[in-house]
Amino acid sequence: MASENNFQYNGHIKHRHLTLGLFGFGCVGQGLYHVLDETQGIKAEIKKICVKNRNKTRTLPEDIFTYDKEDVLNDPAIDVIVELIDDANAAFEIVKTALQNGKAVVTANKKMLAEHLEEIYLLQQRYGKPVLYEGAVCGSIPIIRNLEEYYDNDLLTGIEGIFNGSTNYILTKVFEEKKSYEVALQQAQALGFAESDPSLDVKGYDPKFKLAIAIAHTFGVFVKPENIINIGIDRISDLDLKFAYDNHYAIKLVARAFKIQNRVFGFVAPQFIESTHPLYAVRNEYNAVQLESAFAEKQLFVGKGAGSYPTGSAVLSDISALTYDYRYEYKKLHQSGNLQFSNHLVVEAFVSFEKGVNISISDFEQFESGYASHGKQYMVGKVTLLKLHEWSLLEGIGIILAPGATFAPQTEINRDKIPALVES
Amino acid sequence: MASENNFQYNGHIKHRHLTLGLFGFGCVGQGLYHVLDETQGIKAEIKKICVKNRNKTRTLPEDIFTYDKEDVLNDPAIDVIVELIDDANAAFEIVKTALQNGKAVVTANKKMLAEHLEEIYLLQQRYGKPVLYEGAVCGSIPIIRNLEEYYDNDLLTGIEGIFNGSTNYILTKVFEEKKSYEVALQQAQALGFAESDPSLDVKGYDPKFKLAIAIAHTFGVFVKPENIINIGIDRISDLDLKFAYDNHYAIKLVARAFKIQNRVFGFVAPQFIESTHPLYAVRNEYNAVQLESAFAEKQLFVGKGAGSYPTGSAVLSDISALTYDYRYEYKKLHQSGNLQFSNHLVVEAFVSFEKGVNISISDFEQFESGYASHGKQYMVGKVTLLKLHEWSLLEGIGIILAPGATFAPQTEINRDKIPALVES
């Protein structure tokens, strides 16, 4: 009787022992290996690690490594593929084959996920095996799990945050230690926070990939990353920094998405942040996510977004969840109704440009002020996101969202209300 | 075939429809009712609400209410008891009977849980039904769920935070709006953040109850609340406030627990907080929890800790989790080994007292400095937690932990190293 009750009590929790096959043994893979090694209680062991480079010295015995992906993907003893390689296309092939072969997958490849999320969702349904990817969004912060499990019935209205550790590290150093942008970037790379191709970070691609994944789990809408506008921090000038210092602002690269009526808006852009804003105090390689919902109201999660151990811990938590057959339900897909992603938004921004660049007051929906300083022009006002995107593709134009900027769907701005100002 | 795959995919997730019986219809109960009413997707309805006061005007039709608890506890159609009453003893009887009668329980009663947690754990095992209580610890912050599910395999070394919204509200108002302590307390009560008996909040009992629950889920150790030392904010003086202003500190009531070797230490006390500390920016009725672990490193969760909707949303999330038979596993109980709770700790504190109070340098393990100001004496140094506890029970002694205070087990302090200073 006691044992029956016990069984009943542990009804849904039958922990399975898992055999893992790893793809990639870079910083996250090695972090995971050590995390697995040092933690008790998780019933999983790495059987094979598929790597590319035959000439690299490895820290583990040679026989755990293979150079042939079939050795891992076709091994019937392997239950779970842990995919930790850089190449997004190769990673997607691995995920697809793994699912086809009846294996669960854990991955932290945000680019691959962002580009193929709908397909990966469908593949999970088709082959009945889960793909977990907590490590792909904001490193150690358990945001996907919380969106899936905890905020499954609350009415989420917005998600915003600092989704990229290396740019936050750079911006922190530039501000607090008055380092030059270049020195701060080099430091971030030396510490392993920044990608070897820094444009993924500083142009805002990396946080955009994460935002695309977060949007699916927040609002139940799949958006391709190429449809999300990303404006980077690579055009931030000394004048911008001075303006921020003088006004006690920080500059942060903010990823955000929110719902207005039946539309979801989402984009990545630098913004002046007031000192009372919760993101102001998020420093160095830390990431932060703030959820806004009808009932729980504002929830902030802060944690390390980069580094081998923080990401390794997220991957480990996914592996642990697979021992009791956890899978994402994508509940919000079924609740999303006719929600649609849109870029038809008006935002308040500071736009800076050199003389000769063709920007005028009439480009703004609502022009607020303009000034010239040190050979640069500044214009501040409400402008469409699509116009900002257009400008972000041209040389010599800097864009930073206004502190406390509000956002409105494009149709709600009345162009008749533009004051007839003379260009400054 | 497709449907079979679908079934396989949703294998562990068979959502059940739940019929709820409610105890109490105060601010959280009413919040829950509206949250349930306004959210789609959750398969649960309230069948009966047991209330005490027959003379109160109710906002719902009379026939949903009952004054006899047996009507709810013995109704075989009711699957889940949602217990939201004040009286901790009555609440425990309700929880016990509910489990005996084969019903799951959701409760937000931190006092009851803290006092009976081990028994409630055993009752869950015995009767095979779960008790969930996310709303009991830090309102809307999903800390228990994250400790149970997400940090189940990481090596947690510490948990600390602001566990009480009303004292944080009071301290914020006192600091930022230079309100008097009494006015700030009255405001907190008027807004519904503070208990009608404010001593539960300001003397640190409420955060202590939450800490006792958190310790079980962080370290797998059951501690009775009477064994946890709580020092309140009721002795904070204008001089303390001035000292804080002058040094750009905030004062926060901090609950914390941490592991040193095979001992767990935990207590509640006010502390001077530096402006770079993550808790510094946590204002008004917000709560915050920071976890420290070997791999995920520092994780901060911030959210509203009081109010009907934030707590209602946590209760709702528990109800939602019961639709798929979720239960806490208390995994860390089995991982905790020979961990033991201890109060034999040395902490660094500012102690203030009137002339005539019998405190001397020899009471400190390491005396650092002393001064007299406006008829008060201050002594700063390392002192045992048990000594602080003793002082906190006497009139006229104020205790605030030092900014960035470090903590050491009592045996590690070498008393021979005390400098032979003359009393100031």
Indicate if A284 and A188 belong to the same structural domain. yes
Most confident of A303-307, B54-58, B278-282: B278-282
| CATH number of the domain to which B336 belongs | 3.30.360.10
Residues 6+ apart with CB under 8 A from A63: none
Residue B4 lies in a domain: no
- Residues within 8 A of A (CB atoms), B 281-300 only: 281, 293-300
Residue B8 lies in a domain: no
Indicate if B88 and B234 belong to the same structural domain. no
Q: Find, among A259, A275, A287, A237, the residue nearest to A396 by Cα.
A: A237
Among candidate residues A210, A252, A332, A382, the one labeled active-site is A210
Q: Does the model's pTM come out above 0.95?
A: no
Instruction: Kindly report which listed range (A181-185, A387-391, B141-145, B234-238) carries the lowest average pLDDT score.
Output: A181-185
Q: A130: nearest CA in chain B?
A: B9
Residue A422 lies in a domain: no
Residue B377 lies in a domain: yes
CB A292 within 8 A of CB A157: yes
**In what helix (H) or strand (E) does residue A19 lie, and over which residues does it extend?**
strand A18-23
Helix (H, G, I), strand (E, B) or coil at A359: coil
Indicate if A50 and A122 belong to the same structural domain. yes
**Structure tokens that stand for A68 in this block:** 């042939």
**Structure tokens that stand for A35 in this block:** 């995390």
| CATH number of the domain to which B360 belongs | 3.30.70
CB atoms < 10 A from the CB of A29, how many? 24
Tokens 């189940």 correspond to: B152
Number of domains in chain B: 3
Cα A243 to Cα A176, A181, A269, B135, distances in angstroms: 15, 16, 17, 43
Q: State the Cα–Cα distance between residues A370 and A381, nearest whole angstrom.
A: 9
CB A399 within 8 A of CB A350: yes
The arithmetic mean of pLDDT across residues B264-291, rounded, is: 94
Residue A263 lies in a domain: yes
Instruction: Kindly report which listed range (A258-267, A353-362, A415-424) carries the lowest average pLDDT score.
Output: A415-424
Tell me, rounded to whole angstroms, the distance of Cα A166 from its chain centroid: 12
Single-letter amino acid, residue B353: F
Indicate if A352 and A412 belong to the same structural domain. yes
Indicate if B258 and B200 belong to the same structural domain. yes
CB A278 within 8 A of CB A300: yes
Indicate if B361 and B336 belong to the same structural domain. no
Enter the DSSP assignment of A282: -
Most confident of A107-121, A333-347, B151-165: A107-121
Domain boundary among A314, A342, A370: A342
pLDDT-derived band of residue A364, with 50, 70 and 90 as boundaries? Answer: very high
Q: State the Cα–Cα distance between residues A226 and A253, nearest whole angstrom.
A: 18
Q: State the Cα–Cα distance between residues B110 and B212, nearest whole angstrom.
A: 9
Helix (H, G, I), strand (E, B) or coil at A234: coil
CB contact under 8 A, A313 and B295: yes
Which pLDDT belongs to residue A188?
77
Indicate if A167 and A243 belong to the same structural domain. yes
Q: State the Cα–Cα distance between residues A96 and A75, nearest whole angstrom.
A: 15
Tell me, rounded to whole angstroms, the distance of Cα B258 from its chain centroid: 15
Q: Residues A285, A234, A345, CA angle at the centre, nearest 5°?
A: 95
CB contact under 8 A, B295 and A312: yes
Which pLDDT belongs to residue B9?
37
CB A380 within 8 A of CB A350: yes
Indicate if A189 and A334 belong to the same structural domain. yes
Option in A31, A41, A128 nearest B335 (CB):
A41
CB contact under 8 A, A124 and B9: yes
Tell me, rounded to whole angstroms, the distance of Cα A301 from its chain centroid: 14
CB contact under 8 A, B125 and A5: yes
**Structure tokens that stand for A136 in this block:** 């792909």
Which pLDDT belongs to residue A9?
37
Indicate if B26 and B42 belong to the same structural domain. yes
Q: State the Cα–Cα distance between residues A223 and A163, nearest whole angstrom.
A: 17
Q: Is B263 on the interface with A (CB under 8 A)?
A: no
| CATH number of the domain to which A40 belongs | 3.40.50.720
Option in A9, A41, A293 nearest B331 (CB):
A41
A1 contacts in chain B (CB < 8 Å)? none
Indicate if B195 and B290 belong to the same structural domain. yes
**Structure tokens that stand for A325 in this block:** 């057959």
Count how many residues are written for chain A: 424
Indicate if B129 and B254 belong to the same structural domain. no
**Structure tokens that stand for B76 in this block:** 């075989």
Domain boundary among A109, A136, A163: A136
Q: Is A325 on the interface with B (CB under 8 A)?
A: yes
Residue B32 lies in a domain: yes
Q: Which residues pair with B370 in a beta bridge?
A: B379
**Structure tokens that stand for A207 in this block:** 């946080």
Q: Which residues pair with A206 in a beta bridge?
A: none
Residue B263 lies in a domain: yes
Domain, as residue range, for A52: 17-136
**Structure tokens that stand for A182 in this block:** 């270049």
What is the pLDDT of chain A when averaged over all its residues? 88
Domain boundary among A286, A314, A342: A342
A224 flagged as catalytic: no
**In what helix (H) or strand (E) does residue B259 lie, and over which residues does it extend?**
strand B250-260
Indicate if B167 and B300 belong to the same structural domain. yes
CB contact under 8 A, B297 and A281: no
- Tell me the pLDDT tens digit for each residue of A211-231: 999 999 999 999 999 999 999
pLDDT-derived band of residue A415, with 50, 70 and 90 as boundaries? Answer: low
Which pLDDT belongs to residue B397?
94
**In what helix (H) or strand (E) does residue A33 lie, and over which residues does it extend?**
helix A27-38
CB A351 within 8 A of CB A377: no
Residue A216 lies in a domain: yes
A127 contacts in chain B (CB < 8 Å)? 5
- Tell me the pLDDT tens digit for each residue of B58-112: 888 899 999 999 999 999 999 999 999 999 999 999 999 999 999 999 999 999 9
